[in-house]
Structure 1
Amino acid sequence: MNKKILIVSILTGFVTFTCQVSKQKTTDHTLRTTAASVEAVPAFTADPSPAYLTPEQSLKTFRLPKGYHLELVASEPMIHEPVAIAWDGNARMYVAELNTYMQDVEGTGEHEPTSRVMLLEDTNNDGKMDKSSVFIDKMLLPRMILCVGHELLVNETDTYNIYAYKDTNADGTADEKRPVYTPDKKAPGNLEHQRSGLDWNVDNWIYTTVDPVRFRYKNGILKPDSIPSGSNGQWGLTHDDFGRLFFSSAGGEVPALGFQINPVYGRLEFNDQYTKEFNEVWPIIKTPDVQGGLKRLRADTTLNHFTASCGQVVFRGDRLPKDLQGDLLISEPVGRLIRRAKVSSKDGKITLENAYQKEEFIASTDMNFRVVNMYTGPDGNLYLVDMHRGIIQEGNWTGPNSYLRPQIKRYGLDKNIQHGRIYRLVSDGMKPGPKPKLLDESSKKLVSYLGHPNGWWRDNAQKELILRNDKSVIEGLKAVSAGTMNPYVKANSAIARLHALWTLEGLDALDKNLIQKSFKDQDGEVRKAAIRLSEPYLKQNDEEIIDQLAALKTDAANDVKMQLILSLSYSKSPQAKSLIKEILASSNGNEVLARAQKSIDKNEDSKKFGLRLGRLEESDRNLILNGSVIYKSLCTACHGVDGKGLLSKTAPPLVGSKRLGKGKDMALRILLHGLSGPIDGETYPSEMPAMGDNDDQWIASVLSYVRHEFVNAPPIRPADVKAVRDQTVGRNKAWTLTELSGM
């Protein structure tokens, strides 16, 4: 399936921890299992039926590890086309629906405002929703939702605007709407290429995918902050106990990325952060509806590679086996499966590994099983959002000449619409956790939940305390963060200290002394958090803080030293810069630390030159910048400043030119020797003159600029120019398109 199906799959309509913080857990290879230890419910199905299955029938199609089973939480007709869920502090569930997503193979009526957000409740705490209401109606494909106190933040497709909705009379329907972020600009791209997320992270920033921005929620308003090197991913976003973000890119066929460092510091990926084999997937069903076509199918016609990775979650609950806590789960809706990845940390580098040998954690033979989001639930279990439909690709990839359309029609996948299921994964014999009432609890009680074994409770207690802005708990939070035994938490855990520190930061109550004490915490993750929390002082070049941080330059944990490099980059102080050099000099060429510094350097380039130019290597960027000067002084007279040509039609437009974007040789030959004759059916008054008298650097600069600016193609280097010069020695006349097309 087309990589781009990416979010689409994930979208499906857009389809859109352990309480120990101590150390990132390492991979236990004993957890890797073979088929003998997996519950063999259905065998491989070579001729699957596209027929609609009831929820009860679907439950019989899942292949799960022994000891696990799925339970139905909600299904049609209560919900339709679900893509995202969010719980408020009292475990009321909001469900975003994309009710106009691909209702036929053409995507007819997709942008009609008839989608909605549903409010579901489990009134008897049996795990199944038994009460529902339409919380918000007549929406345009709502894609992001987040509960903040008694309000729900919602973003719709095609707009950047975010509004808060509230039910003031307890009838289950929102009757108040107010703006919280309204740039009033149209969001570009089809629905699968727009943002997802609204993930309130441990660091109190709210993150999204796609757009280079994060938000702070202050006084009922979302305040944006730019991410210089851009964001990551497409559909789906999650974080672990320590605030590390995990993105996914279906369009790039990349199941996981962005998890080494926070994106505000730049981009850092390692070639060996997972193996090539990790990209292979193992469905238990024939998968004909693959946008990538035959290249993405094995001989047995199963999907061979991630092509629609989305909806990922780091499981942080307390009601499934402990060996699942901290694992990354990634959905692949085209393959009707869910990957379980073990997350390891070695010398500061995070790596992923499939927990099974040529198998998946969850797989189904139901052709309409399309999980597009997953979550850790308030009850400590894992929740799956199954859009449960036939088509999982947006209309751009189901056109009349596509590989997909015949498959969709042959199987009748376009007929299965307006369904949807939410499941929860539970452990045999383990009772789900109690239903929370965080919105009704005292602030003091909320502080006690910062050490809760279920990450959902910790995150939401922190969020609620910050939303209340209740200063009465500040002293208690300071006691928790300092590790003092106190009535607020039952145990002096690192995870409680971590959340207490960030809660104080969110309340604007974190003092310098407490940060300095946390530099010496016995837990590496707490020390890392303290370094991040010192950044406001580093931006002020606070020498006392820099002196204190110097003691961490020999920290035993490389990821602590990596955070030092990242955070110290905010200081302009010579002392801070010297400290970074000392860390790097004593690292013996450690790849993690060296790459962390490079990410900071590239981040600075992005701030200075903009996102696109900033991502390039300096030599390539200089080619483009020099080429810009040449183009604007020489070429605009014929091709126009914007590359769209002139009204007099002196020369052809360059924007979108097939000659510029098709490889390198054609553009090089034209610039070296000129071009004559009709171009795209148009005759121009004069031919393109030869520019070969200029040196290789000049030619490379001009072409690098016009390719970068007008067709979004990579730079051309002087060596490329020399190679074509050598191939065309003796050429003394202009090319024609007929000649070039024959090459």
Structure 2
Amino acid sequence: MLNKLSQKSKILIPTVLLGGVLWGTAYQFSPKSRFINHYVDSLLTENQKRLPDNALKGVKMVDGLTVSTFATEPMLINPTDIDVDAKGRVWVLEAYNYRPSITGNPTHKEGDRIVILEDTNGDGKADISKVFYQGPEINAPLGISVLNNVVIVSQSPYVWKFTDTDGDDKADKKEILFQGIEGEQHDHGVHTFVFGPDGKLYFNFGNEGRQLKDAKGNLVKDQFGREISRKNFQEGMLFRCNLDGSEVECLAQNFRNNYEVAVDSYGTLWQSDNDDDGNKGVRINFVMEYGNYGYKDQMTRASWGYPRTNMEEEIPLRHWHLNDPGTVPNLLQTGSGSPTGMVLYEGDLLPKQFYGQMIHCEPGHNVVRSYPVTKKGAGYSAQIVNIMKNETDQWFRPADVCVAPDGSLIVADWYDPGVGGHQAGDLTRGRIYRIAPPQTPYSVPKQDFTTPDGAAKALQSPNIATRYLAWEALSKMGKSAENALASYWKNDNPRVRARAFWALVKLVDTKKYIDLAIQDANPDIRIAGLRAVRQGKLDILDYVEKLAKDADPQVRRECAIALYGQKSPKASQLWATLASQHDGKDRWYLEALGIGAEDNWDACFSAYLSQNHNPANSASGKDIIWRSRSNQSVKLLASLATDPSIALKERLRYFRAFDFVKGSEKSSALLGMLNGNSQEQNQINRLALGHLDAEFVKTSPIAKNALVQLMNNLDDKEFVQLQDKYTLPEGNERLISMIGKGEKVGDAGNALFKSPQGVQLAKNIINNPKQEDLAIKILGAIRWNGGKTQLTLLQDAMFNPKYSANIHREATRYLGGSGNGEDLILELLKAKKIKKDLIPVAVEGVSRAWRRSVRVEAAKYLGTTNATSKKLPPISELIALTGNPKNGAQVFANNCSVCHQVNGEGMDFGPKLSEIGSKLAKEGQYLAILHPDAGISFGYEGWDIKLKDGTQLVGIVASKTETDVVLKMPGGLVQNLKTSAIKSMKMQSNSMMPTGLADGMSQQELVDLVEFLMTLKKK
């Protein structure tokens, strides 16, 4: 049977001979032979599955394309990013030295490498590997762009410019292009530079980037003179600059980890963006210039999870503030994942469905895929089409994809059991694949860059590095290249025309070809023309005037965006003309209008009102009012918020809109809504009060009286939110009642201790012997806080002889409930201040401490110790064991649900794990449990916070603004802190997940737990 199968096989099939294993020749299965695949897979050991010859065994390809191996280890290892030059060579960034401080992996003191892989004999496989550069400053770099003899490497905190001056494929010169980019050794730092059709460079960084400095160390200023830092911009950003790094423009902001930008021939921008792990919010964005993309609150910079009016019902949507005015909508949300490299395919070798489309790597789901788009109003809709997916090997981690000169795709595979979270489980492997139609040899078309005709033709290559060489040559030719470029300007293919257009505008005659472009029959060419006007610094208003009533909404979208920064009366009138054409259904168009009116809202809205006298009477007008940030729109906003003909649920958007308007008119309008106490009016009062400043409420008798009356009729959840914000003395008795009933105990305890009156009320109850049961519940309600007042009260309850034995015991148990309390328990145990009979209670109170050192140290005082963990087999043996997922679910509930959620069940503290089985292979699961410090998810790092009053807190920073910090603590408790009260904040180097989590499990329970986690996959 095996002999027959071998005719269709391209994997290594073991032949059993006298009890041994003899490895045979490489073959390929028919795509239909799933049974055979499964049969042979069962014969392979784990090590055999990882061999390069078996790398493609579980791969499923889209119809019309095949995949082959171009290079494997040891020619390369751990490829983070690649580029393909005009000769068809693959340039690889390696990451052996990936985050050793967290992974604990060894490093190369020589630094990571930049490797060139070349196929010299035309068989489609690399046979030469050269090291272009290796240096200690190169540590897991994230982006490479090859521009002739210049190579730009993104390695936070630097962007390096390497130059090969003598053509020997070695870096002879190293310069700093940019620096000061935070995020060293971090996936959320600076990413790849991309050469655009306009002769500019495009690049981005994730939310760890924070700022951008030039080669001299000065903060870079954008096109409007604003320093590029967190002072002026939010989170992840997208940039454009000249080839020498000058004239940097910040094009969009407020992404989480926008990994790589793709630019099409019209100058349209596309990106992926990663969510906070476990929230199924990974997204694909069409990027409108100057847009806000909603990762943090645009006004307060608070986290997406911070309560707000009109929050989206589904967390993946809530994650991006999509219901907020001022947030550009997402093109597509893809669920969970860890998105990485992306390219825009503008060749003709692949099937037609991929022409002009994004090609993207998603290592979290072991797939390379495309997102074909369709125009929809002023924006787009998209679908997902998988190109290459490994259905059996979760180690397949595609990190980047590029287009080769012949139009084929080149894919880099990091090949590792884990992805994201700063994990690296393998340091020896890495693969490069080529995707092309069947029977398509790898070839490099010959190009002639010495003549105008040859250079103009080369500009149409699907390979970006080839286009750069063409641009470079055409730049030197100048006007002499006009005729050659003009022939492509008349081409039937609009993308070919667009590339020729940009070269003609930038290198030959700016105004002549812009004037032709904005009159063109193709709307995409008109859009390119408008973009060129802005780059050419011509009179943008003249051109917007010509296109302000264009029949195509996408052209009008670009007109609106072009008004950004324009503040003349003419600009306001043009904006009003564009706004009057909004149909009330197109969010893309509405947000483009918002971009165009930014910092000029009063003038724009006034002009709009002169053309639209009753905007609240139409869907389009209601949208404009909702999106407006003009004081003139406040009364209209208030009328819509209180309009009984509109369902209250639909009116929530108008209440939320008040948060984006500044000025006294807003407060007056909100107070004017307080009227009566009917059921609906109480809801309106609640909403109106919720959007006023807390201090204003305290100083306004009208607002305060209404608030007290309203809070009497709220459920516990809403009540405690308002009480936490306003700390009114009248609410303390109800907080005590909630604690007594066990309702939202931690939140109620926090709110109670925010006011002196609340603290005194708690002390009075604890001092009353007749209220012992309630006193113990109050002590339990403050156990997680760790504040100075709370800890002092707990210690007093432990030792003061006037209290009962019950209070002594429970206070001893509760003292260790916070990070500060854990330290106090250890101090008291060491000083022998805890009574002998209460030592077991004190130790039990810290038995689930995050810090293993605390648990181990405390256990010593019991006379026994579990300091030495039980011996477990190596991970390589554990993964071969089979567990019971049903039993594993119970192990999870007992050990993990205190911090993690699965499908909504459990505590929302650590990353959500509902799809962790899609993200991590078995090796990665064991690594995360046994060695949590090797994979701390970004955004879930532990923080030690010291307050000015001496209080010390430990938790996860859920949100941080200039005035407030929201700290999530174990057990689901949330603590709101004022930055003015914080003395210091220090990130912990270790994971908050206990390193000894497996100590309390048997080996079988651990195996069952991993088996359960592997079932948690994307539906």
Quick check: TM above 0.5? Answer: yes
Q: 67, 71, 75: which is aligned to 1:74?
A: 71
The match for 1:93 is 90
1:96 Cα offset (Å) = 0.4
1:307 Cα offset (Å) = 2.2
Q: What amino acid does structure 2 have at the position aligned with 1:619?
A: D
Q: Using CA pairs under 8 Å that are at least 6 residues apart, name the structure with larger relative contact order, 1 or 2.
A: 1
The match for 1:497 is 497
DSSP-derived class of the 2:144 partner? strand
| Contact 2:56/2:390, CA 8 A, preserved across alignment | no
Matches within 5 A, 1:62-211: 62-101=59-98, 106-109=103-106, 114-138=111-135, 139-157=138-156, 159=157, 161-181=158-178, 183=179, 185=180, 187-188=182-183, 191-203=186-198, 204-210=200-206, 211=236
The match for 2:518 is 519
Distance change >3 Å, CA 506–CA 78, structure 1 → 2: farther
The match for 1:383 is 410
Measured in 1, the distance between the counterparts of 2:56 and 2:171 equals: 34
Q: What amino acid does structure 1 have at the position aligned with 2:592?
A: A
Distance change >3 Å, CA 221–CA 307, structure 1 → 2: closer
The match for 1:694 is none
Measured in 2, the distance between the counterparts of 1:326 and 1:229 equals: 25
| Contact 2:117/2:129, CA 8 A, preserved across alignment | yes
Q: 313, 316, 340: which is aligned to 1:310?
A: 340
| Contact 1:569/1:576, CA 8 A, preserved across alignment | no
Q: 232, 237, 241: which is aligned to 1:212?
A: 237
Distance change >3 Å, CA 470–CA 685, structure 1 → 2: closer
For structure 1, which segment, 367-376 or 233-242, has the greater mean C-alpha deviation from structure 2 after superposition? 233-242
The match for 2:555 is 560
| Contact 2:120/2:127, CA 8 A, preserved across alignment | yes
| Contact 2:204/2:259, CA 8 A, preserved across alignment | no
Q: What amino acid does structure 2 have at the position aligned with 1:164?
A: K
DSSP-derived class of the 1:246 partner? strand
The match for 2:869 is none
Cα deviation code 1:71-125 (max 9, x no counterpart): 1111111111111111333333211000123789834356966211001222233
Q: What amino acid does structure 2 have at the position aligned with 1:530?
A: G
Measured in 2, the distance between the counterparts of 1:711 and 1:129 equals: 54
Q: What amino acid does structure 2 have at the position aligned with 1:322?
A: K
- Tell me how large the CA RMSD over aligned residues is: 4.3
Measured in 2, the distance between the counterparts of 1:320 and 1:259 equals: 23
| Contact 2:452/2:480, CA 8 A, preserved across alignment | no
Q: What amino acid does structure 1 have at the position aligned with 2:659?
A: S
1:588 Cα offset (Å) = 2.9
Cα deviation code 1:658-686 (max 9, x no counterpart): x99x9987665555665538973635999
DSSP-derived class of the 2:341 partner? strand
Measured in 2, the distance between the counterparts of 1:322 and 1:277 equals: 35
1:479 Cα offset (Å) = 7.1
Distance change >3 Å, CA 600–CA 229, structure 1 → 2: farther
Q: What amino acid does structure 2 have at the position aligned with 1:129?
A: A
Q: What amino acid does structure 1 have at the position aligned with 2:273?
A: S
Distance change >3 Å, CA 84–CA 326, structure 1 → 2: same
The match for 2:961 is 708
| Contact 2:260/2:342, CA 8 A, preserved across alignment | yes
The match for 2:479 is 474
DSSP-derived class of the 1:71 partner? strand
1:504 Cα offset (Å) = 3.9
Cα deviation code 1:689-729 (max 9, x no counterpart): xxxxxxxxxxxxxxxxx973354559xxxxxxxxxxxxxxx
Cα deviation code 1:320-361 (max 9, x no counterpart): 2222223333333233223333211122321111347xxx75
Distance change >3 Å, CA 434–CA 455, structure 1 → 2: same
Measured in 1, the distance between the counterparts of 2:34 and 2:371 equals: 23
Matches within 5 A, 1:23-38: none
Q: What amino acid does structure 2 have at the position aligned with 1:386?
A: D
DSSP-derived class of the 2:365 partner? coil
Cα deviation code 1:185-233 (max 9, x no counterpart): 2623751222212122234242223243524234x44553334644564
| Contact 1:535/1:567, CA 8 A, preserved across alignment | yes
Measured in 2, the distance between the counterparts of 1:503 and 1:669 equals: 67
| Contact 1:328/1:342, CA 8 A, preserved across alignment | yes
| Contact 2:81/2:143, CA 8 A, preserved across alignment | yes
Matches within 5 A, 1:330-479: 330-355=360-385, 361-395=388-422, 414=425, 416-432=426-442, 434-437=444-447, 441-450=450-459, 452=460, 454-456=461-463, 459-460=464-465, 462-467=467-472, 470-474=475-479, 476-477=481-482
Distance change >3 Å, CA 69–CA 314, structure 1 → 2: same
| Contact 1:265/1:566, CA 8 A, preserved across alignment | no
Cα deviation code 1:521-550 (max 9, x no counterpart): 12111100111112257x77x3xx634433
The match for 1:272 is none
DSSP-derived class of the 1:202 partner? coil
CA radius of gyration, larger in: 2
The match for 1:3 is none
Q: Could you tell me the TM-score, scaled by structure 1's length?
A: 0.65
Q: What amino acid does structure 2 have at the position aligned with 1:455?
A: P
Distance change >3 Å, CA 250–CA 228, structure 1 → 2: closer
Q: What amino acid does structure 2 have at the position aligned with 1:115?
A: D
Measured in 2, the distance between the counterparts of 1:178 and 1:671 equals: 54
Which consecutive unaligned segments of at least 5 residues does structure 1 have? 1-37, 270-275, 280-303, 399-412, 606-612, 635-658, 688-705, 715-743
Measured in 2, the distance between the counterparts of 1:430 and 1:108 equals: 40
How many aligned positions are there? 553
Which consecutive unaligned segments of at least 5 residues does structure 2 have? 1-29, 207-235, 296-313, 318-333, 602-628, 631-655, 668-691, 700-723, 726-743, 761-781, 794-958, 968-1019
Measured in 2, the distance between the counterparts of 1:180 and 1:667 equals: 49
| Contact 1:116/1:134, CA 8 A, preserved across alignment | yes
Q: What amino acid does structure 2 have at the position aligned with 1:473?
A: G
DSSP-derived class of the 1:307 partner? coil
Distance change >3 Å, CA 602–CA 363, structure 1 → 2: farther
Measured in 1, the distance between the counterparts of 2:369 and 2:561 equals: 31
DSSP-derived class of the 1:212 partner? strand
Measured in 2, the distance between the counterparts of 1:130 and 1:430 equals: 19
Cα deviation code 1:585-631 (max 9, x no counterpart): 133324132221124456889xxxxxxx99x9662575999999979
Measured in 2, the distance between the counterparts of 1:682 and 1:565 equals: 54
Measured in 2, the distance between the counterparts of 1:49 and 1:345 equals: 49
Q: Which runs of 4+ in 1 moved over 6 A?
A: 43-49, 102-105, 276-279, 623-631, 662-667, 684-687
| Contact 2:519/2:526, CA 8 A, preserved across alignment | yes
